[in-house]
Structure 1
Amino acid sequence: YANATIDDHSHSSILTLTNHTSFSIGRAFYPSKIPTKSSFSSNPLPFSTSFIFSIAPFKHLLPGHGFVFLFSPFEGANGVSSAQHLGLFNLTNNGNPKNYVFGIEFDVFKNQEFNDINDNHVGLDVNSLTSLTSQDDIWVSGKHDEKFKELKLNNGENYQVWIEYSDSRVNVAMAIAGKRRPNRPLISELVNLSDVFLDEMFVGFCGATEQLIESHKILAWSFSNSNFSIGDGLVTTNLPSFGFVLGISFGIFIFVIGSAAMVFVVLLKRKRSKRMEEEGDIEDWELEYWPHRISYEDIYAATKAFSEQNIIEFGGMLKDVAMGVLYLHES
């Protein structure tokens, strides 16, 4: 639905939720509803799902926003919006208890209106993008899974996720694709889904961008109401990589120009320090961390008079946020 596509890639099919355009929305679901409540009671059925995803930036573009694995009472893209709403809700229905939506979000933008903990987190959502709980250190490591390690969600790496629900507890685990499943979950939370799940629901994925653009791809997916080891059957080797070429190119480029760049930075800092000392009224800490003082005129010019095309965040509890390019000229 919307901008989502199924792409053939080396004899395999890859779900691409968002494309290279701004304010893109993609939603994709299993073609038919699945039972989510027992026919003998109102208790939600257990489930186990695992998938492999990749979030990759586009060259010369700032990345954002994220995607969600979700249960929804309807298909299609009606009633949802792009940007910070991730193709899951919109400004008016976010937080409505009659949404009947459960999701696990993978978010790379910090929205204060949703109390996001940072710009790189996994969150558990029930009818709202204000997560019930979230985690930013998103990989359990160590011999006995004794510590969390931060992973960058949108670096183009392929990650495998395991999500399980049983006895009112949601467990979410995550690792680099091909690595073993951690014994210790990233998120483990008691959640009563009796009032969220209907008898049958659609299950799938949604994602969105705004002027911050990145690709959101699902490389493999499994789901079951009974087999909690179904994720072990996903193929995790020889998968396409969506961040490798860009990373190698930049690595070579940085290696070649590294020495020249270091010399340039040293000279530039010396020139800046000398100029700021001559201007006076500069505190010592500012000499090292220049610049901290930018005139309104410079900001106005950098954002092209706060033009609409430069707005990267809209409304909510915040004012609009504009993106601009500031050109520094050395005298």
Structure 2
Amino acid sequence: MANHPFSVFLICLSLITCARSNSFSFNLPSFEPGIRSILVGDDAKTTGGVLQLTNKDQSGNPTQHSVGLSAYFAPLHLSDPKTGRVVEFTTEFSFVVNTKGASLHGDGFTFFLASLDFEFPDNSSGGFLGLFNKETAFNTSLNQVVAVEFDSFANEWDPNFPQSDSPHLGIDINSIRSVATVPWPLDIQPQGSVGKARISYQSTAKILSVSVAYPNSPATNATVLSYPVNLGTVLSEWVLVGFSGATGDLVETHDILSWSFDSFL
């Protein structure tokens, strides 16, 4: 099977940038068209100061079966094999998932860390969220990716299916089946509400944590999730950090408005 073009491009670029990526922090208050520090693939693009992960038509409405991938242009030095140390990091981003008032919508987006040789698969729309397909979704030996999913549609592998079809946050380790989940109060927010996410990793405690809130929304909205994982044993020494998004038969928008990242190894 041929490699996904996005995977090939990222590997080539990473070979160039690894040697000089001694520190890793950035602050992107917006995403101007053609911004050089952000790489995009499939339907993702930067437009109007926004990183648009999935496709919209000329009227601004989301389209079906869209997949978008984006990553920071330089890799993160995740772990040092000589010392055994693993990076501490905190990343924050603001986002909008607009359901356009639909009671059923999908499918969601992720923030991911992926080993440099991770192959982004084809046929990854819908519930696979741009990171997996039916051949790779549950085979952990085929994947080297850790993701925080913002999943807006319940699939058969999701928690409490079919009793609950509520949006949820999840932590995914080499599989689309989350190891931990918590409800995500997306559907009670006014349309177009801006969410704020903070994801951090404490290397000493080996805890991956995520918090999401809607500061300007009148609805109760704070969500917190954490899970113990040694990223140094799951992922390679150098990793890519970025976002993926997907729609399926159901649609919604997936826009990243700002993004910052700080780390220490």
Instruction: Tell me the TM-score normalized by structure 1.
Output: 0.57
Greater relative contact order structure (CA < 8 Å, 6+ sep): 2
Which position in structure 2 is the counterpart of 1:152?
Answer: 187
In the alignment, structure 2 segments of 5+ residues that lack a partner are: 1-40, 56-61
CA–CA distance in structure 2, aligned partners of residues 28 and 208 of structure 1:
12
State the number of aligned residues: 207
Classify 1:153/1:220 alpha carbon distance in 2 versus 1 (closer, same or farther; 3 Å).
farther
CA–CA distance in structure 2, aligned partners of residues 158 and 109 of structure 1:
19
Q: Deviations over 1:131-180 (max 9, x none)?
A: 111001x4xxxxxxxxxxx443874210001111012011211111469x
Which position in structure 2 is the counterpart of 1:169?
Answer: 207
Tell me, yes or no, if the aligned pair for 1:26 and 1:87 is still in contact at 8 Å: yes
Q: Deviations over 1:273-321 (max 9, x none)?
A: xxxxxxxxxxxxxxxxxxxxxxxxxxxxxxxxxxxxxxxxxxxxxxxxx
CA–CA distance in structure 2, aligned partners of residues 39 and 178 of structure 1:
44
Classify 1:194/1:106 alpha carbon distance in 2 versus 1 (closer, same or farther; 3 Å).
same
Tell me, yes or no, if the aligned pair for 1:54 and 1:217 is still in contact at 8 Å: yes
CA–CA distance in structure 2, aligned partners of residues 151 and 64 of structure 1:
11
Which position in structure 1 is the counterpart of 2:245?
Answer: 207
Classify the secondary structure of the residue corresponding to 1:195.
helix
Q: Could you tell me which of 25, 29, 51 is aligned with 2:67? A: 25
**Matched AA of 1:63:** H
Which position in structure 2 is the counterpart of 1:15?
Answer: 51
Classify 1:185/1:25 alpha carbon distance in 2 versus 1 (closer, same or farther; 3 Å).
closer
Establish whether residue 133 from structure 1 lines up as the match of residue 180 from structure 2. yes
Classify 1:60/1:134 alpha carbon distance in 2 versus 1 (closer, same or farther; 3 Å).
closer
Tell me, yes or no, if the aligned pair for 1:162 and 1:173 is still in contact at 8 Å: yes
Classify 1:37/1:60 alpha carbon distance in 2 versus 1 (closer, same or farther; 3 Å).
closer
Which stretches of structure 1, 4 residues or longer, exceed 3 Å deviation after superposition?
A: 58-62, 74-80, 114-118
CA–CA distance in structure 2, aligned partners of residues 204 and 119 of structure 1:
25
Classify 1:78/1:131 alpha carbon distance in 2 versus 1 (closer, same or farther; 3 Å).
closer
Q: Deviations over 1:245-292 (max 9, x none)?
A: xxxxxxxxxxxxxxxxxxxxxxxxxxxxxxxxxxxxxxxxxxxxxxxx
Q: Identity across aligned pairs (percent)?
A: 31
Classify the secondary structure of the residue corresponding to 1:214.
coil
Which position in structure 1 is the counterpart of 2:152?
Answer: 108
CA–CA distance in structure 2, aligned partners of residues 95 and 161 of structure 1:
27
**Matched AA of 2:76:** I
Q: Within 5 Å, which residues of 2 pair with 1:83-94?
A: 83-94=126-137
Q: Within 5 Å, which residues of 2 pair with 1:243-322?
A: none
> Which one has the bigger helix percentage?
1
Q: CA deviation at 1:94?
A: 1.3
Q: Deviations over 1:207-255 (max 9, x none)?
A: 100120111000000111139xxxxxxxxxxxxxxxxxxxxxxxxxxxx
Q: Within 5 Å, which residues of 2 pair with 1:223-242?
A: 223-226=261-264
Establish whether residue 3 from structure 1 lines up as the match of residue 31 from structure 2. no
CA–CA distance in structure 2, aligned partners of residues 102 and 95 of structure 1:
13
